[in-house]
Amino acid sequence: MPVLGLGVWQLASGRETEQAVEWALDAGYRLIDTASLYRNEASVGAALKRSDVPREQVFVTTKLMPTHPSAARELAKSLKRLELDYVDLYLIHWPVPLVSARYWRQLESLRAQGLARAIGVSNYGRDHLQAMARSGAATPAVDQVQFSPFRFRRRLLDYCLEHGIVFEAYSPLERGRAVSDPTVVQVAERIERSPAQVLLRWAIQHQAVVIPKSSREDRIRSNARVFDFELGDDDMRQLDRLDRTNGTASARGG
């Protein structure tokens, strides 16, 4: 799974999403994160189809809204909109008490059929993951959760890394708010990088996959330039200390 992807929540379907995906593929992104909830799967599919990048080189994630009875029907609709035969990753968008286990069995069957190469969860805390493990369910490949220096979910991160679950960070820029934080700006100025690059690099150095969203070509390109520098231990520690959650945050948006 690529370490960097483009998130497309809140990109309008049509030109805005298509362009963002085109710019991202051109800038070297090989992961696109969408969801049926975002209502832009068809635009992601159109951009992928037009691209010169072969399908098998792009990691496409979409998500099941756990409000419909049949995951099979929902994935079939997503695949149709995306104009794809399979997705690389299918996530349960958020946990729903009591019914999540049923969805998970459905996702296991979709994976067995090759319609989803991998299956995972989103917005699951450690308790949810532990309950899944106790029930004997297959370990999810990925847990996608909100993660940034301000929501440094250490215990969940450690649990995922220990159990071989890829930890995927959504809203890694805190929906744009974190780029103006004085500590982040100070680190960025010192190492001559953008605040967004610092935030993405911080998450990557904690072994997270990051999926920043932008509608702007310049930002899509600059957000991808995070593999030619490293944050030193002091900078990492300074950013770690921005945590406002005592390691236990939980929140959900898109």
Ligand X SMILES: NC(=O)c1ccc[n+]([C@@H]2O[C@H](COP(=O)([O-])OP(=O)(O)OC[C@H]3O[C@@H](n4cnc5c(N)ncnc54)[C@H](OP(=O)(O)O)[C@@H]3O)[C@@H](O)[C@H]2O)c1
Instruction: Provide the binding-site residues for ligand X, judged by CB under 6 A.
Output: 7-9, 33, 93, 122-123, 144, 170-176, 179, 194, 196, 211-216, 219, 222-223, 252-254
Q: Name the catalytic one among 38, 90, 159, 170.
A: 38
Shortest spacing between CB 243 and ligand X, in angstroms: 16
Shortest spacing between CB 197 and ligand X, in angstroms: 7
103 catalytic? Reply is no
Cα 151 from Cα 193, distance rounded (Å): 22
Residue with nearest beta carbon to ligand X: 7
| Cα-based distances in Å from 227 to 65, 117, 154, 230 | 33, 27, 23, 8
Shortest spacing between CB 220 and ligand X, in angstroms: 8
Cβ proximity to ligand X, 113 vs 252, nearer residue? 252
Cβ proximity to ligand X, 136 vs 216, nearer residue? 216
Cβ proximity to ligand X, 111 vs 219, nearer residue? 219
Residues with catalytic function: 38
